[in-house]
Amino acid sequence: VHSSFATGPRQYDGTFYEFRTYYFKPSKMNEFLENLKKNIHLRTAHSELVGSWSVEFGGKMNKVFHIWKYDNFAHRTEVRKALAKNKDWQQFLIPNLALIDEQEFEITYLVPWCKLEKPAKEGVYELVIFQMKPGGPALWGDAFRRALNAHVDLGYSKLVGVFHTEYGALNRVHVLWWNESADSRAAGRHQSHEDPRVVAAVRESVNYLVSQQNMLLLPTSFSPLK
């Protein structure tokens, strides 16, 4: 059974994306971001930062979300070793670890039919996390893709990337959207819910859905994706 959603072709390429989420002690998030802004060049010298955001709405407060790109797992190992030996980076990192309350990460691949898009201007981002039924993309991938394409093709939001988890909760898909503002995102969502073409496409995909959640993300001052 073949699905155009399966990440196998991406795995042959090797490139993957690490999702890192940081939870901060109350009132400490801005302090960490200011310190990181001054030192982020030390980190990006080793691998590409796709985007950095603070979480405005959705889930816990005082939360920051990063996406890092790696050529393959050997590349990530090399980066971690290099950072451990970098005295300037360690001088920043060690005292700032005390500001972090919790962190988690996932390894993801872009789905084969999606390339990472960079919006032309600044805006807000929405990360929607779908937990799908066991069975993988061969079971639900095509229906899920049709539901996404219905929103994209009709112009209700701009798709930045679709990622399928390799390490973390399995059968999980992360969809990153861009909108000009939180209000334009709300308007597009309301319109799409009244569009019978979107409703029909989504109705098919929800048969395979276990749960979903979302976060509204605001780019940090040093985020490549604005």
Q: Please give the average pLDDT of every successive group of 10 residues along the chain, which has 226 residues.
A: 51 86 93 96 97 93 96 97 96 95 95 92 96 84 87 87 94 95 92 87 84 95 96
pTM of the model: 0.90
163 in Cβ contact with 26 (< 8 Å): no
The confidence score (pLDDT) of residue 150 equals 87
The confidence score (pLDDT) of residue 1 equals 43
The confidence score (pLDDT) of residue 7 equals 52
What CA–CA distance (Å, rounded) separates 177 from 158? 6
The confidence score (pLDDT) of residue 164 equals 94
Q: What is the CA angle 206-163-148, rounded to 5?
A: 40
Q: Measure the N-to-C terminal CA separation of the chain; round to a whole number of Å.
A: 39
The confidence score (pLDDT) of residue 205 equals 84
209-219 and 124-132 strand pairing: antiparallel
The confidence score (pLDDT) of residue 153 equals 82
